[in-house]
Amino acid sequence: MTRCGFVAIVGAPNAGKSTLLNRMAGAKLSIVSPKAQTTRFRVLGILMQGEAQILLVDTPGIFAPRRKLDRAMVAAAWTGAEDADLTVLLVDARAGLTDQVRAITARLKGTKRRTWLVLNKVDICTRESLLPLTQELHDLVRFEETYMLSAANGDGVSDLIAALAAAVPPGPHLYPADDLTDIPDRLMAAEMVREQVFLQTHEEVPYGTTVETESFTERADGSVRIDVTIYVARAGQKAILIGDGGSKIKAIGQKARIALGQALDRTVHLFLNVKERSGWDEEGARLRAIGLDDPDRG
């Protein structure tokens, strides 16, 4: 009997949701950085485990949003949870029960949906801290199951996969067995560039940036030419992104091209263009370009 179901991974920013998705899927599908609010939209990872197809949904971290962009991100996270057969609350065990985690549990508590607790980053925690944290969280939400793991080094991840394979409902598979995700290559290209912006710039620059693929052209030799625009909110951010003599944008392009070549499994010619566009983070069209719904339109 085949099984298939959506499993949404929700949690505070920086809990390690994208790292866990990539680890479980065995491929880099969702971008990761040490900075909070890296993921901006839902990312699907398709995982085959015996007869089961687990449709993992990575979501943006949930926090108190202000900008339209932030509100759209948080809405996408909750929609991911509401559309799923099962929700995994991922908690950074070292950070513990923060106000952000508390706020998420308050909302999860009200749902009748199946919810599991997963404590992450056990590689940087003391064992003694894990049980009291589990207890505190169980006092807030009725979790069906609890797992402890390290998404970074993989410890404990196979147990979670096996349990999810048994827990998703019976039913036909929704995707071909060898698909890894449904993310279009154009969006993957923009994301790999945005990841480098998150890794190579600091303070407000990553948050002032959005990335869109303008053109994606296959060449006769099997390689692909990709033109990407990086929008920034302010002139100062543009100067930082370009760097002295173009050094920063060059470094961003080099790293992104390598990651993208691996993701697409072909030679990539990547061209980056930086444009200033103040207020992009309040623009519905910029949000739709990355697959987010405008939170101010019903």
Ligand X SMILES: Nc1nc2c(ncn2[C@@H]2O[C@H](COP(=O)(O)OP(=O)(O)OP(=O)(O)O)[C@@H](O)[C@H]2O)c(=O)[nH]1
Chain residues in the site for ligand X (CB under 6 A): 11, 13-19, 32-34, 36-39, 60-61, 120-121, 123-124, 150-152
Q: Which does 232 bind (CB under 5 to 8 A by kind): Mg ion, ligand X, none?
A: none
237 binds, among Mg ion, ligand X, none (CB under 5 to 8 A by kind): none
Give the nearer residue to Mg ion in terms of CB position, either 39 or 181: 39
* Residues paired with residue 6 on neighbouring β-strands, in sequence order: 55
Angstrom distance (rounded) from CA 51 to CA 53: 7
Compute the least distance from the CB of residue 10 to ligand X, in Å: 9
Rounded distance, CA 13 to CA 27, Å?
21
Nearest CB to ligand X, comparing residues 88 and 274: 88
Q: Which does 19 bind (CB under 5 to 8 A by kind): Mg ion, ligand X, none?
A: ligand X
Cβ-in-10-Å burial (0-12, 13-18, 19+) of 215 comes to exposed
Nearer to ligand X, 191 or 242 (CB): 191
Choose among ligand X, Mg ion, none what residue 14 binds, the Cβ cut-off being 5 to 8 Å by kind: ligand X
Nearer to ligand X, 75 or 239 (CB): 75
Cα–Cα distances in angstroms (integers) from residue 150 to residues 34, 94, 146, 231, 259, in the given order: 15, 11, 14, 34, 23
Pull the structure tokens for residue 166: 């048994």
What span, in angstroms and rounded, lies between the C-alpha atoms of 207 and 58? 19
Cα(47)–Cα(52) distance, integer angstroms: 8
Least Cβ distance, residue 243 to Mg ion (angstroms): 26
Closest approach of Cβ 266 to ligand X, in Å?
26
Site residues, Mg ion (CB under 5 A): 17-18, 38-39
Q: Given the complex with Mg ion, which of 17 and 68 has the nearer CB atom?
A: 17
- Cα–Cα distance list, 282 to 42, 235, 293 (Å): 19, 17, 12
Do 211 and 252 form a contact (C-beta atoms < 8 A)?
no
Query: What's the min distance (Å) between Cβ of 154 and Mg ion?
Result: 18
Q: Shortest approach of Mg ion to residue 13 CB, angstroms?
A: 8
